[in-house]
Structure 1
Amino acid sequence: MELNRVKQILSSSADIEVTYNGVSVWIDKLNEDGKTATVHLRGANDFEERSHVDISEVKEQ
């Protein structure tokens, strides 16, 4: 996914489905490097582990 699209999704109030490695995730934030994002599994509680992933591997459904 491109950087600008990640920013659009983060600022949107819409529920935009994205996946990482085929698994549905929420994008929590774009990291300072502009190349990675922090994500967590959809449907997980607030205590679920978050992962730092390369935004190029995040796909919009």
Structure 2
Amino acid sequence: MNTQRAQEIAASPIMANVTYDGTQIYIQNVDENTGMARIYPLNQPENEQTVSVRNLIEQ
């Protein structure tokens, strides 16, 4: 996924089907300068992590 699309998904009120490493995730925010996104698995909101937007896949 590219940074622009990740930002669009993060800003949208509509839930998008996005996965990271095969797990459905929620994108909290995106840092355009670093290309990193703050995410968490839908079933584990306490398990936040920062990953490259390139590793996110929109289904």
TM-score (norm 1): 0.84
Partner residue in 2 for 1:58: 56
The residue correspondences of 1:13-52 to structure 2 (distance < 5 A) are 13-31=13-31, 33-45=33-45, 48-52=46-50
Counting aligned pairs with the same residue, the percent is: 25
| Greater Cα radius of gyration, structure 1 or 2 | 1
CA distance in 1, matches of 2:25, 2:44: 9
In the alignment, structure 1 segments of 5+ residues that lack a partner are none
Give the conservation status (yes or no) of the 8 Å contact 2:29–2:38: yes
Moved over 4 A (4+): none
Give the conservation status (yes or no) of the 8 Å contact 1:3–1:34: no
Q: Which amino acid aligns with 1:15?
A: M
CA distance in 2, matches of 1:13, 1:57: 22
1:58: Cα distance to partner?
0.2
TM-score (norm 2): 0.86
Q: Which amino acid aligns with 1:25?
A: I
